[in-house]
Amino acid sequence: MPIASCLPARAGVGFKPEHFRDILVDDQPLGFLEIHAENYMGAGGPPHAQLGALRERYALSVHGVGLSIGHMGDLDHAHLMRLKALCERYQPESFSEHLAWSSHSDGFGEVFYNDLLPLPYTHETLARVAAHIDEVQNALGRQMLLENPSTYVRFTASTIAETDFLRELASVTGCGLLLDINNVFVSAKNHGTSARDYLASFPLDRVREIHLGGHDEQADETGAPLLIDAHGSPVADPVWALYAETIARTGPLPTLIEWDNDVPVWPVLKAEAVAAQAMLDRAVQAVAA
């Protein structure tokens, strides 16, 4: 059986090298750290020296951005083997990827995009993604968590609701789910739907980790509001509210603060994690009451 995800039900942050020394000397340790897998696929150097030191102190979540789970063709075997080597080296408590695609075979070779692109939700897509998840979990020998996407367009070809699509993937593959609440909020606003209705139909029993992050408010070519999952600002108040409602239903879950662009100084990032931890503590008290 694959190793199950087992992060502590506490607040963590995405590790950024500029915060390395601050994290080492901080007298209020975090619940866990997350890294992007593709930043650590080299053999050595400062990235591994820092990560090795932190791994001795913290639980670790490895978050992939390059597997292209929704790719029409085969998974990149070389990339998967690099990912396997990384997981064997650090034995993380969790590994996750996105319900998205980022590569395409155009007849002349593989084209890679610097984006996590959405999928049509059909039975054909579901079978392909499930096969890819099985391949990843078999190769790594561990459970994979799949993250719900932020979306800006919808496909007329889709015949399955996103929440049902994720539920079925978790059922047939045994994977867990990573619930990104900011993605839920962004997608709902962009499509004029209800984030609360989405969460009411989400398979929360399969969720093993939660992500929280900031978004940008922009406008599309018609001037209509458009939210972008930018990870460059504090968590917005409506997202905090959705988070509080979610963990009131699920109980405490490992919760990551994502801040990947315009990265702030350590006290600012840590304050976001402290806020999430306070909500988790209240959820613990509610369960005990």
DSSP-assigned letters across all residues of 146-193: EEPPP-S---TT--S-HHHHHHHHHHHH--EEEEEHHHHHHHHHHHT-
pLDDT interval class at 253 (50, 70, 90):
very high
Domains in the chain, CATH or no CATH each: 11-288 (3.20.20.150)
Between 221 and 227, the higher pLDDT residue: 227
Kindly calculate the radius of gyration of the chain based on its CA atoms and give it in whole angstroms: 18
Tell me the mean pLDDT in the region 34-62.
96
Tell me the mean pLDDT in the region 168-177.
98
| Torsion of the alpha carbons at 228, 229, 234 and 237, rounded to the nearest 10 | 80
User: Which is nearest to 119 in space by CA: 129, 109, 111, 110?
Assistant: 129
Q: What is the pLDDT of residue 101?
A: 62
- Let me know how long the chain is: 289
Q: What is the pLDDT of residue 259?
A: 97
Q: What is the pLDDT of residue 104?
A: 47
Q: Is the predicted pLDDT of residue 56 greater than 80, yes or no?
A: yes
Q: Is the predicted pLDDT of residue 109 greater than 80, yes or no?
A: no
Long-range contacts of 269-273, Cβ-Cβ distance < 8 Å, separation of 24 or more = 269/13, 269/16, 269/19, 270/13, 270/26, 270/28, 270/30, 272/13, 272/212, 272/234, 272/235, 273/11, 273/12, 273/13, 273/30
Q: What is the pLDDT of residue 170?
A: 98
Tell me the mean pLDDT in the region 211-233.
88
pLDDT averaged over the chain? 92
Q: pLDDT by residue (tens digit) across 67-79? A: 989 888 899 999 9
